Amino acid sequence: MARIFKPFGVPTALKQFLRPYSAAAAPAAITTPRLEKQAGTDGKTQDIKLPLVPRPIPLVPDVETFLTVIGRGLKQHASKFPTWEALFTLTTDQLRELGVEPPRSRKYLMRWRQRFREGKFGVGGDLKYVSNGAAELRVLELAPTPLLRKRYVVNIPPGKKIEEVSRGQMMRPLGYKVQGTRTIVGPYALPKKDGSRITVTEGMWEDRRGHKVDGGERRKAEVRFKRGVAERKARREKLGR
């Protein structure tokens, strides 16, 4: 009997997302029924809706960059998410269907998705001017008085000198400061002749995993019990000599 081959099908989880996407034409944020509590001006809490699909930010304009910065090797799954919307709306079962393994990677991804919705970004998440994964930092020097000079780190549009940028266009990123007279220090700031540059780097937002001592939670008691038995046996043998 001749075998009948079925054509390769698109995973169910992706069918609703197969349309082109670009960060420049990002849709308005889609809201979710999930509510958060926020203090109002009168001191009372009020319910606010978090966006289910948040807008991209300058440092993280697309799926691949998001998976790159959160680390844990999730960048390898970038091709499984055809759109930004798919990245933020697929359920854990749909992620498993697409092959996002192991389970801890799915949990990690979903945890970072929620942080992003809440505006809890990592290094450089507040940068305003980013081009091709790189942001330019410069030192702004102010002299309020003839005897006092203050220096600040500012993010400016790419390809411009600090003298060409108005004060209103500049923004001060968190976590960066001026050391000495011209040196910019802060996470992932690479020195340049006229300032510093921050470049999108694998794992720059990654939550570092701690080192397991005596195995994981399930094996820890067993490992320590066996070690105690071995130590007591060694002491008895030593005393018996």
Domain boundary among 92, 117, 142: 117
User: Is residue 42 domain-shared with residue 111, that is, in the same domain?
Assistant: yes
- Whose structure tokens read 């009948």? 4
Verdict on whether the full-model pTM lies above 0.85: no
The DSSP secondary-structure symbol of 145 reads E
- Identify the band that residue 221 occupies on the pLDDT scale cut at 50, 70 and 90: confident
Residue 217 lies in a domain: no
What mean pLDDT comes out for the span 228-237? 85
User: Is residue 146 domain-shared with residue 193, that is, in the same domain?
Assistant: yes
Which backbone phi and psi does 177 adopt, to 5 degrees? Answer: -145, 170
Per-residue confidence (pLDDT) for residue 29, from 0 to 100: 54
Question: 171-203, pLDDT tens digit by residue?
Answer: 999 999 999 989 999 999 999 988 999 999 999
The DSSP secondary-structure symbol of 147 reads T
Per-residue confidence (pLDDT) for residue 34, from 0 to 100: 47
What mean pLDDT comes out for the span 44-57? 75
Averaged pLDDT score across all residues of the chain: 84
Is residue 19 predicted with pLDDT exceeding 60? no
- Identify the band that residue 236 occupies on the pLDDT scale cut at 50, 70 and 90: confident
- Identify the band that residue 27 occupies on the pLDDT scale cut at 50, 70 and 90: very low
Q: Which residues pair with 138 in a beta bridge?
A: 154
Per-residue confidence (pLDDT) for residue 132, from 0 to 100: 95
What mean pLDDT comes out for the span 20-43? 49
User: Is residue 24 domain-shared with residue 104, that is, in the same domain?
Assistant: yes
User: Is residue 110 domain-shared with residue 24, that is, in the same domain?
Assistant: yes
Residue 128 lies in a domain: no
Q: Is the dihedral of CA 71, 82, 114, 213 positive or negative?
A: negative
CB-based burial label for 138 (10 Å; 0-12, 13-18, 19+)? buried
Is residue 11 predicted with pLDDT exceeding 50? yes
3-state secondary structure 166-219: CCCCCECCCCCEEECCCEEECCCEEEECCEEEEECCCCCCCCCCCCCCCCCHHH
Residue 220 lies in a domain: no
Contact 200, 185 (CB under 8 A): no
Per-residue confidence (pLDDT) for residue 133, from 0 to 100: 96
Is residue 22 predicted with pLDDT exceeding 60? no
Residue 6 lies in a domain: no
Full domain range(s) for residue 147: 134-199
